[in-house]
Structure 1
Amino acid sequence: MAGTAAAAAGSASRPRATNPWIVAVVVSIATFMEVLDTTIANVALRYISGGLAVSADEASWVVTTYLVANAIVLTASSFIAKRFGRKRFYLVCLALFTASSVLCGFAWNIESLLFFRVLQGFAGGGMVPISQSILADSFPPEKRGQAFALFGVAVVVAPVVGPTLGGWLSDNYSWHWCFLINGPVGLIAFALVWYLVQDSKEAQRLREDLKRRKVRFDIVGFLLVAGFLGSLELILDRGQIEDWFGSPFIIVATVICVTLFAAMIPWELRHGNPVVDIRMVLTRQFGSCFLVMMATGAILIATTQFMPQLLQEYYGYTATWAGLALSPGGFVTMCMMFVVGRLTGFVQPKYLIALGAAIIACAMWDLTRIYAGLDFGFFAWSRVYIGIGLPLIFIPITTASYDGIPPDKTDQASALINVARNVGGSIGVCVATNTLAHREQFHQSRLVENLIPSDVAFQQRLSELTSYFLSRGVGSTADARAQALAVIGRTVQEQAGYGAYIDVFFVLMIISACAIPLALILRNVKLGGGAPSGAH
């Protein structure tokens, strides 16, 4: 996101005497690698579920656990970076991310893979906001917009490139390479960051000041936030499998989730250095931006997972071609990032955000027209429409979200906007997964109601199929009839699947549409400025 970048500026890391664009490229590569891992495994989920002998629902945890772990650490990244040094913290995160990525590639069962994905998410959560700070310190104010546009390309395009790359690796090698590929890239990025970036004197003074004032990390608040998000994720992931509140496990998890949330609010309101500033989230301006970013994250991650899944299951696409269907949207998004960057200089952010949400809602409505005869072009164009809408939200939302935020709160604002994107993405995947499972059962039940012996159309179709199989040399009438019934059963199941995916896209359309009024209630902001106030 070009926008959230501006917030975490702070004169905290100053590169050595070198071209700042080299620093921008290096930082963007590391960030691209981190964000790429939110979606690179999406088209490989069928390979993962088959290779590790788990269900598709369990395989989807590979995506959601990463997002939640990433969001949890984002809340703590600002303080840790200030207290221990941005470069040191960034290098630790990059090293842990690279190591856990390689361990994911060597995972021997679903439990080990999820554990390593959690580690990977924890490490990645600290990289994005610190990358933003390094960029802000590397460029003068008048050139930061261009640098953050490059950074925004990495953040927004990476989730779209992920499925294409993941599909190609899975089809031609194995799903393990979706994670192993981070090894050499991470080592190169580590070496370059180590050489090009160093903490400035201002950062050292800030560290000493925090030590002198004995400012302590809000460990209780962090544990409350982590427990709340973790239990919420557990409920959403296991709800459908455990029959929701018919399961004692889900009931206990819900009680824990509600209790931690109820305890978190008063604690954070009273704490002098809260890990999450509740008052900020409750304001009209920032709170609305937070909700819009959650909705955007839900659309971005859910569509990036479920469109390839639909293409593989019902249209016979390979993982590579399913990923390629998303590629045109990634190219359009990249181009639109720079266009929108110019528009933000003279158009109020709330109108751009509302327009982007409306375009995405229309794209989701268009996807409710799916049927068996659709070609590659339909899905490629649907992703193009989404690619037009996303930058209209991602860039302007930063300008809007930082309006009125005091300088000492910009780091936390940056982290919270990233938290909103990741938590929204995780919730979006869970909602879409549960909608798909529930509505597929519903549609199948409704369709089966018409498959009764007395139904004339059913008898006619059964007779036609039986005759067809007999003409193909099937041994007996009984065998031909059994094969005919099997074909009818598969047709029912296929139609139920199409209906369920239509319902998923309809739900995502509603989520997008809800972002429109939230955008329109935002205040007007001063146009034509550089980084948000206090961002550097």
Structure 2
Amino acid sequence: MSQGQWDRSRSAAGDRNPWLIATVVSIATFMLVLDTSIANVALRDIAGSLGSGLDEATWVITTYLVANVVIIPISGWLAGIVGRKRYYMLCVATFTVASFLCGLAWNLQSLLLFRILQGLSGGGMAPSEQAILADSFPPEKRSQAFALYGVAVIIAPTVGPTLGGFITDNFSWHWIFFINGPFGIISLSLTQWLLVEPDALKKERREKLRGGLRVDWIGMVLVVLWLGCQEIVLDRGQQDDWFSSGVILGFTAVAVLAFALFLPWELSRRDPIVDVRLVFSRQFGMSFVIMMSVGAVLFGSTQILPQLLQTSFDYTAYLSGLSMMPGGLGMLIMMPLAGAVAGWIQPKYLIATGMAVIAVAMWHMTNLAPDATFGFFAWARVFQMIGLPFLFIPINAVAYAGLRPEDTNQASALINMARNLGGSFGISLANTVIAQRSQFHQSRLVENVYPASQAYQHVSRQVTDYFLAQGMPRPQAQALATGWIGQAVGSQATLLAYIDVFWVSALFAATMVPLVLLLLRPTPVGRVASAH
């Protein structure tokens, strides 16, 4: 069979309707993405409940991401060795059990251990699901299949922060993990009942195991060291003052050395644990880079918006999550449209359009003001999200174009790795810009705040009079006025730093538009369909 053709014998649907299979795999996706987004808004409560600081509690996110990112690139190999259906069900079952254990965690250390288990199992789910979709649908229907799959990816982060905030504010953070149980049980039951392990995959597995299992242990160790250390550097770098920290320097050195050894080692293997050759092909390589870029902008903005709302605008966890819900609804409406037009318009033009929309949306966020309303944030999120269906669907469709059927598992793992890598870089960059630019803006603003300034004296008198009206003695009122002015300067500096993040995101997305147009033009859908 030539490259890029669809092999029906690899379908996980068997004699059943493949759309039923797409629905089934979306259930676990919903659970996975929901858990990722729902925990972010509960960190303060987790820290307080377990007697730890907020900095320590952020390891609840970090440990999950590290475990998630190190398993993704080798998940394609694992699925081929264990069997795709068996590996997928093992991931879902382990994730469900780990979620229950997270809810029962008695201290921070136990919670971190169970989050690592969650990350390892969750990292293998998405690549397996996307490989199942790519193998179960012919090329002319993959865009619509990924659109249906994308609905779960949209709904989960849409309701995740809102649901997480509601549960945290009204019940207990333990329940943000317990709610995964029903989804996991339903997913396992339907997967066992409806999914099949195709004969073609069984044959490939037997061939791999014939003569004994050959494991690329060196490649596995190198990829774990590279991605694990890199994730720790990106996540903890700003908090530990980057390279002034010996710990960050050490993890950076290990990550750089591991990557320098990993690349030539995997390129020289006959059975590599990660088939990096795919990244060096123009079509898939460009898809990999663009997916990294999408992950950087999407994850970065999703991370800092609730943070902005809760710190600078005093929103509760529930209200900050609620402000992000309209964006998810807008994306949900656009997803079927993007899936439909993907069969008629060249993917690179759809991707370029999506990137342009993201750039304009980020530029719109630079209009952020201290008196911004709930409506401003809700509509800004809508503008950001409506372009994403025109990115995810065509990127996934174009990434698999021209690949051999047996490369599907590895391609799915690498595309998910690209999204997570980009997300890690985006979140790290956003937090670094906020911290450093806050200091910069505060130093500039303070230059204009001095006792001899008429503006300072005017504001100081107004604020002092306010505190005097509250019945405070003049010395105390003057001291409080001075503190209030300092706090106002700090808040303004922080707001300007967030605006800088939005500027950087807008410029980055705009720069990606011409790069997207370098994508190879895949065979038109109609032509592919007629070839069968």
Query: Which of 74, 90, 93 is matched with 1:92 structurally?
Result: 90
- Name the Cα RMSD after superposition: 2.7
> Which aligned pairs between 1:150-169 and structure 2 lie closer than 5 A?
150-169=148-167
Partners of 1:278 and 1:463 in 2: CA distance: 66
2:485 to 485, 488, 493: 488
Q: Which residue of 2 aligns with 1:359?
A: 357
User: What pairs with 1:11-22 in structure 2 (closer than 5 Å)?
Assistant: 11=9, 14-15=12-13, 20-22=18-20
Q: Is the contact made by 2:360 and 2:506 (CA closer than 8 Å) also made in structure 1?
A: yes
One of 505, 512, 525 as aligned partner of 1:528: 525
Match of 2:38, SS state, is: coil
Alignment counterpart, residue 266 of structure 2, candidates 261, 264, 268: 268
Question: 8 Å contact 2:140–2:529 — kept in the other structure?
Answer: no
Within the candidate set 516, 519, 527, 1:519 is matched to 516
In the alignment, the residues of structure 2 paired with residue 105 and residue 212 of structure 1 have an alpha-carbon distance, to the nearest angstrom, of 42
Distance (Å, rounded) in 2 between the aligned partners of 1:532 and 1:65: 44
**Where does residue 207 of structure 2 map in the other structure?**
209
Match of 1:228 among 201, 208, 226: 226
Instruction: Show CA shifts across 1:445-492 (max 9, x none).
Output: 222233322222212221222222222211x21111111112112211
- Which has the larger displacement, 332-341 or 12-21? 12-21
The equivalent residue for 1:382 is 380
Q: 2:189 aligns with which of 191, 211, 231?
A: 191
* Counterparts of 1:290 and 1:508, CA distance in 2: 19
Moved over 6 A (4+): 6-10, 530-534
Quote how far apart the aligned CAs of 1:147 are: 3.4
C-alpha distance in structure 2 between counterparts of 1:162 and 1:434, whole Å: 25
Q: Separation in 1 of the partners of 2:50 and 2:432?
A: 22
Who is 2:291 aligned against? 293
Q: C-alpha offsets along residues 258-280 of structure 1, whole Å, 9 cap, x if unaligned?
A: 11011011101101122223332
Q: Which digits, 9 at most, give the CA deviation of each residue in 1:190-223, with x for residues without a partner?
A: 2222222232333332222222254623222122
Q: TM-score, normalised by structure 1?
A: 0.91
Matched residue SS, 1:386: helix
Aligned with 1:462 (options 460, 463, 466): 460
Q: Answer with 60-69 or 381-390: which moved more.
A: 60-69
CA gap of 1:78–1:193, structure 2 versus 1, over 3 A, is: same
Gaps of 5+ in 2: none
Match of 1:479 in 2: 476
Q: Tell me the amino acid that sits aligned with residue 521 of structure 1.
A: L
* 1:54/1:110 contact within 8 Å kept: yes
Please say if 1:336 is aligned against 2:310.
no
Q: Which residue of 2 aligns with 1:250?
A: 248
Q: Secondary structure at the match of 2:196?
A: strand
Contact in 1 for aligned 2:131/2:412 (Cα 8 Å): no
1:3 equivalent in structure 2: none
Structure 1 pair 18–532 and aligned structure 2 pair: CA distance change class (3 A): closer
1:165-185 Cα deviation digits (max 9, x unpaired): 212221221222221211222
- Report Cα offsets for 1:407-452 as digits up to 9, x if no partner: 3323211211111111111221122122222222222222223332
Residue 276 of structure 2 aligns with an amino acid whose one-letter code is I
Contact 2:162 2:325 in 1 (8 A): yes
Separation in 1, partners of 2:507, 2:528:
33
* Residues 230-257 of structure 1: CA deviation (Å, up to 9, x unaligned): 1111112222232222222222222111
Q: TM-score when scaled to structure 2?
A: 0.92
Distance 1:189 1:7, change over 3 A: farther
Equivalent in the alignment of 2:324? 326
Distance in 2 of aligned mates of 1:159 and 1:9: 34
Secondary structure of the residue aligned to 1:443 is: helix
Paired residues of 2:143 and 2:394 also in contact (CA < 8 A): no
Answer yes or no: is the 8 Å Cα contact 1:444–1:492 preserved in 2.
yes
One-letter code aligned to 1:515? M
CA distance in 1, matches of 2:8, 2:431: 40
Give the corresponding residue for 1:430: 428
Q: Percent identity?
A: 51
Aligned CA distance change for structure 1 residues 21 and 409 (closer, same or farther; 3 Å) = closer
Instruction: For residue 532 of structure 1, report the CA deviation from its aligned partner.
Output: 11
Residues 47-56 or 22-31, more deviating: 47-56
Partner of residue 304, structure 2: 306
Q: Check whether the contact 1:440–1:499 (CA below 8 A) recurs between aligned residues.
A: yes
Name whichever of 286-295 and 62-71 sits farther off.
62-71
> Which of 505, 509, 515 pairs up with 1:508?
505
